[in-house]
Structure 1
Amino acid sequence: MAREFSMDRRAYLKTVGVGGASAAIAGCLGGNGGSDDVIVPGTNAGFAPFEFTQDGELVGFDIDLAEEAISRAGYEVGDWTDIGFNSLIPSLTDGDIDLIAAGMTINEKRQQQIAFSDPYYESNQSVLVSSDRDFSPESESDLSGAVVGAQGSTTGQDEVDRLVEEGVLEAGNVRQYDNYTLAAQDLENGNVDAIVVDVPVARNFADSRAVEVAFIIETGEAFGLGMRQDDDRLQDINDALAEIEEDGTYEDLVAEWFE
């Protein structure tokens, strides 16, 4: 797998705007009872290899990257909070957690609520189908009449919604899931014809389940760590991410979790 940490800070600012990348200089309550020395991270563990549970332990690329960035930035890593994806931003803005590490795509809607770190991963969307059935779409138009699912509030769901708006999919044939593990199970069980999921997650499913990637939807999305807009620790996290990239630690994590 090619190295994915490809967008430098200048390119990122040009892409998403300074306002989305920077936090205002202000004090923050924080998700650890007001301690600025501790950063409490939150995730949604159903997105392997980014975050998932293994033998009862929270593991994954995002987990290792976030902990490394927090530590290098000079803060203590608080206890991880594992909650539903839709609850991550409300929990952050309410101060229950301080940082989101959950394969979250940087987009304008989310930037209205939270600030993002510099991008740490770039991805597209895969259309995943069962390898035990004859359905083998090669393009979006081939999904016409199919039952297609995605995890709610994700880029995959956005792409499914777009296909509904364009008349490719029927609204009644769309299935929404709380996490992609449930979606993959439904795909294997024949309850849906396809699911739309981030490329590395789709590859992970294809390695461990009777599913395969049918084709790619080019979205060019970028993942970022989420923090409150008034949390001035964001710059420290960005500096740590840059250091992790520069000294080869990022490549080591990519090799561990994706290759």
Structure 2
Amino acid sequence: MSESNRRTFLKSVGGTGVALTVAGCLGGGGDGDGSTTTGTTGDGTTGDTTTTEDVTTITPGTASGFPPFEFVNESGDLVGFDIDLLSAVVEQTDGYELGSWEDLEFNQLIVALQNDNIDVVAAAMTINEERDQTIDFTDPYYDANQAVLVREGGSFQPESTDDLADHPVGAQSGTTGKDQMDALVEEGTISSSQANTYENYVLAVQDLANGNIDAVIVDTPVAETFVANRDVVISFTIETGEQYGFGVRENDDELQSALNEGLQAVQDNGTYAELTEEWFASE
């Protein structure tokens, strides 16, 4: 990201410092077979996944509205840490190149992957047992927990999930934050009518700022970005020990291994450190 783009990013969503880790990666790669396959893209149109003798074009999918990992900037471009990281990773693979991005709702990504509408998910997706039963993941590339956002300067400053009792709470559909909110309903801490689900966290934080809900549960790095840009603060953190990974179809071992190899390469050559500095460093 250029310095001018970084300034635009900081102006629109804010930047903040976080801690990141990359696990050790596997080896391997895949070559094309000279064929062309046709599938339906996320917007309902028909698109081609093209394979040449040496290079296979893969379609990446994401869900914008999750800054700084993926979002649409003021110019209408899809940008973010995941976008740049996957691009850099694929550049380091033998036999793969990225096609056009598909921007979907988060809870549509796994279905799109299973239906061959996309070939890889790059959307700050937490590796967990439920998802791992339907898709495969690369090695993890990011660590996170869940943060509880509240209005800055407000009288409501909870210190634990128990303090959320009888308060309206928000989270994005399909996320770990939504799972945490659902657990509050199951435990009886909040009622089902107090659990508010949003298509993306931008809408949730907007509702928080407007006083329509009292708290938002969101991944810590994303929460820190909102803190830098909105009148909200992190009231407390829920330690979930999450790790993000790129998602691929089950048994797509060649692509999985190639991406793992690329992850290791961008860590070794300094690209990963450069991207974290660009997208997460404080202004």
TM-score normalised according to structure 2 size = 0.82
SS at match of 1:33: strand
Q: How many residues are treated as equivalent by the alignment?
A: 245
Give ranges in structure 2 of 5+ residues lacking alignment: 1-16, 40-46
Counterpart residue identity of residue 165, structure 2: S
CA distance in 2, matches of 1:77, 1:214: 39
Residue 176 of structure 2 corresponds to which residue in structure 1? 155
Deviation of 1:112 after TM superposition, in Å, equals 1.4
Moved over 6 A (4+): none
Deviation of 1:86 after TM superposition, in Å, equals 1.1
CA distance in 1, matches of 2:264, 2:170: 36
Contact in 2 for aligned 1:30/1:96 (Cα 8 Å) = no
1:56 equivalent in alignment to 2:76: yes
Residue 73 of structure 1 corresponds to which residue in structure 2? 93
CA RMSD of aligned residues (A): 2.1
1:251 to 273, 278, 281: 273
CA distance in 1, matches of 2:24, 2:86: 18
Map 1:13-162 to 2 at 5 A.
33-36=48-51, 37-54=56-73, 55-74=75-94, 75-162=96-183
Deviation of 1:111 after TM superposition, in Å, equals 1.1
CA distance in 2, matches of 1:188, 1:30: 44
Q: Deviations over 1:202-231 (max 9, x none)?
A: 011111111111000000011000111132
Residue 185 of structure 2 corresponds to which residue in structure 1? 164
Structure 1 vs Structure 2: percent identity of aligned residues? 46
Contact in 2 for aligned 1:149/1:175 (Cα 8 Å) = yes
**Structure of larger gyration radius:** 2
CA distance in 2, matches of 1:194, 1:34: 42
Deviation of 1:30 after TM superposition, in Å, equals 8.1
Deviation of 1:35 after TM superposition, in Å, equals 2.7
CA distance in 1, matches of 2:183, 2:212: 21
CA distance in 1, matches of 2:276, 2:69: 10
Give ranges in structure 1 of 5+ residues lacking alignment: 11-21
CA distance in 1, matches of 2:38, 2:278: 31
CA distance in 2, matches of 1:77, 1:34: 10
CA distance in 1, matches of 2:153, 2:18: 29
Map 1:165-184 to 2 at 5 A.
165-184=186-205
1:240 equivalent in alignment to 2:262: yes
CA distance in 1, matches of 2:184, 2:280: 29
CA distance in 2, matches of 1:149, 1:42: 25
CA distance in 2, matches of 1:82, 1:2: 25
Change (3 A) 1:49 1:71: same
Residue 14 of structure 1 corresponds to which residue in structure 2? none
CA distance in 1, matches of 2:246, 2:18: 21
1:195 to 211, 216, 221: 216
1:213 equivalent in alignment to 2:238: no
Q: Deviations over 1:98-145 (max 9, x none)?
A: 110001011111111111010000100000001142111111111111
Deviation of 1:246 after TM superposition, in Å, equals 1.8
Higher mean Cα deviation, 142-151 or 69-78?
69-78
Contact in 2 for aligned 1:202/1:213 (Cα 8 Å) = yes
CA distance in 2, matches of 1:147, 1:247: 46
Contact in 1 for aligned 2:22/2:267 (Cα 8 Å) = no
Contact in 1 for aligned 2:18/2:221 (Cα 8 Å) = no
